[in-house]
């Protein structure tokens, strides 16, 4: 992989393949919405709207969306050396480091999900992500040893990260603490684009970045936005289940796109901060629905780390609409919380 491409893989769900929206969306015909698409955060984005609002040109709308995505990437990417996040990561002092209000907001939400998941979701996991070859650091070609894992784990722990509201700033207790927003920033960017569309009175849209989605209104009169949860397999794009989104976001985390295999074992890019290793259970994917895509994005990684039992129990307790897909003896098994029911009907 070239250096240039690697630098852009800031938030990729898919080192192997970016999620294509066409696989996520159903339907075609003369009512086809307008599509605005491109590349961001190491993956693809697509915005679908039934029509352009009066007084706004298609190119202007797309230019504003690109600006929003570039701004967020420029602040939150660990692949951009001068991003706010990289400046914080490279600052080895216990002093407050100023960040934008939006970076602070994303960190605040990340810390909330960390607390709710008992640390299964943890944005200070960066040194472990790098150690296992899934971050900006080059892959080692061999599995990390116990000592290296133990050493990296001493710098992981969300409670060592502190956030101040005004002026917005971050501070670390330990010089080596690093932040990695890959598991939440795509969701935030989806929300930011959706909120921009709200602000220019676009009353119906579907926004997608690398498989994280948010919809509003309907695709056409009495035709809801229909999206697919895909079969958690690396090859192809096949539908496992379809859901209907009206005013909701949906995110999916899985172990089936970004992973490597060694000696017949699968190593996923989702790291359990407690063991310092990629997850190993039989949970292949978790999908969460929520009003906020940022929240859904973070939950899916947290629940994936917690696994099929603890994750499902927490999702049930929190009344989250969540779909768990496990690899069973007879193929994929689905387990959905009761709250998913309202997304099954059109
Ligand atoms: P997915 O589609 O599987 O959710 P994402 O790109 O959204 O993929 O999130 C995975 C990325 O999150 C990893 O590549 C890594 O950078 C980071 N990550 C890995 N484990 C954790 C964790 N336990 N908590 C927070 N972030 C993590
Ligand atoms: Mg995610």
Q: Domain holding 37: CATH number?
A: 3.10.520.10
Question: Which residues neighbour 117 within 8 Å (Cβ) at sequence distance 6 or greater?
Answer: 299, 302, 303, 305, 306, 314
How many structural domains comprise the chain?
1
- How many angstroms separate the alpha carbon of residue 187 from the centre of ligand 2? 7
What is the reported pLDDT for 317?
A: 98
Question: Which residues neighbour 146 within 8 Å (Cβ) at sequence distance 6 or greater?
Answer: none
Residue 12, in any domain of the structure:
no
- Cα separation, 80 vs 340, in Å, equals 37
- How many angstroms separate the alpha carbon of residue 165 from the centre of ligand 2? 25
Determine if the pTM surpasses 0.85. Answer: yes
Residue 3, in any domain of the structure:
no
User: Mind listing the pLDDT tens digit of every residue in the chain (346 residues)?
Assistant: 222 222 233 333 322 222 333 333 333 344 678 999 999 999 999 999 998 888 889 999 999 999 999 999 999 999 999 999 999 999 999 999 999 999 999 999 999 999 999 999 999 999 999 999 998 877 777 899 999 999 999 999 999 999 999 999 999 999 999 999 999 999 999 999 999 999 999 999 999 999 999 999 999 988 999 999 999 998 888 899 999 998 999 999 998 888 888 888 888 999 999 999 999 989 999 999 999 999 999 999 999 999 999 999 999 999 999 999 999 999 999 999 999 999 998 7
Residue 94, in any domain of the structure:
yes
- How many angstroms separate the alpha carbon of residue 57 from the centre of ligand 1? 36
Could you tell me the maximum CA-CA distance found in the chain, to the nearest angstrom? 61
Distances (CA, A) of 67 to 64, 111, 193, 196: 5, 27, 10, 11
* The dihedral sign for the CA sequence 19, 24, 30, 36: negative
Residue 211, in any domain of the structure:
yes
- Size of the chain in residues: 346
Return the residue whose CA atom lies nearest to atom 4 of ligand 1: 253
Taking residue 214's Cβ as centre, other Cβ atoms within 10 Å add up to 29
Cβ contact 154:173 at 8 Å:
no
What is the reported pLDDT for 31?
A: 62
Burial pattern 137-147, b for ≥16 Cβ within 10 A else e, equals eeeeeebbeee
Return the residue whose CA atom lies nearest to atom 6 of ligand 1: 13
Q: How far apart are the first and last CA of the chain?
A: 42
Residue 5, in any domain of the structure:
no
Identify the nearest ligand to the CA of 182 by its number: 1
Q: Identify the residues whose C-beta falls under 6 Å from ligand 1.
A: 11-13, 121-123, 125, 129, 134, 180, 182-183, 186, 253-254, 269-271, 273, 297, 300-301, 305
- How many angstroms separate the alpha carbon of residue 287 from the centre of ligand 1? 14
What is the reported pLDDT for 142?
A: 83
Residue 15, in any domain of the structure:
no
Beta-bridge mates of residue 232? none
Exposed/middle/buried for residue 158 (C-beta within 10 Å: 0-12, 13-18, 19+):
buried
- How many angstroms separate the alpha carbon of residue 212 from the centre of ligand 1? 13
**HSE-up (13 A, CA, CB side) for residue 326:** 16
State which of 9, 122, 187, 269 you would mutate to test the pocket of ligand 1, scoring each by most atoms of that ligand within 8 A of its C-beta: 269
Return the residue whose CA atom lies nearest to atom 3 of ligand 1: 253
CA 255 to mean position of chain CA atoms: 13
Give me the domain span that covers residue 299. Answer: 23-343
């Amino acid at each position: 992989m070239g250096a240039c491409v690697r630098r852009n893989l800031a938030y990729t769900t898919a080192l192997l393949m970016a999620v294509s929206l066409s696989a996520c969306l159903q339907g075609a015909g003369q009512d086809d919405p307008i599509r605005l698409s491109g590349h961001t955060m190491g993956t693809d984005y697509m915005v679908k709207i039934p029509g352009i609002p009066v007084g706004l040109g298609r190119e202007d709308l797309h230019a504003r969306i690109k600006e929003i995505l570039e701004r967020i990437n420029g602040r939150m990417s660990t692949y951009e050396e001068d991003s706010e996040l990289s400046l914080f990561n490279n600052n080895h002092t216990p002093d407050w480091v100023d960040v934008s209000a939006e970076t602070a907001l994303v960190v605040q939400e990340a810390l909330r999900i960390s607390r709710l998941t008992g640390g299964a979701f943890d944005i200070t996991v960066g040194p472990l992500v790098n150690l296992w070859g899934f971050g900006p650091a080059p892959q080692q070609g061999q599995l990390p040893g116990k000592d290296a894992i133990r050493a990296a784990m001493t710098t992981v722990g969300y409670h060592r990260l502190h956030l101040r509201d005004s002026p917005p700033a971050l501070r670390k207790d330990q010089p080596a603490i690093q932040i990695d927003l890959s598991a939440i920033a795509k969701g935030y960017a989806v929300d930011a684009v959706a909120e921009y569309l709200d602000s220019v009175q676009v009353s119906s849209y579907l926004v997608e970045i690398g498989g994280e989605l948010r919809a509003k209104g309907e695709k056409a009169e009495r035709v809801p936005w229909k999206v697919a949860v895909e079969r958690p397999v690396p090859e192809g794009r096949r539908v496992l289940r379809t859901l209907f989104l009206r005013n909701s976001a949906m995110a999916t985390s899985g172990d089936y796109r970004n992973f490597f295999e060694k000696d017949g074992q699968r190593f996923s890019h989702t790291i359990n901060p407690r063991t310092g290793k990629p997850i190993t259970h039989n949970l292949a994917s978790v999908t969460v629905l929520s009003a906020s895509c940022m929240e859904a994005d973070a939950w899916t990684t947290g629940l994936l780390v917690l696994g099929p039992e603890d994750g499902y129990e927490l999702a049930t307790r929190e009344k989250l609409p969540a779909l768990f897909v496990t690899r069973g003896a007879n193929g994929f098994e689905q387990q959905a919380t009761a709250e998913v029911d309202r997304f099954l009907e059109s």
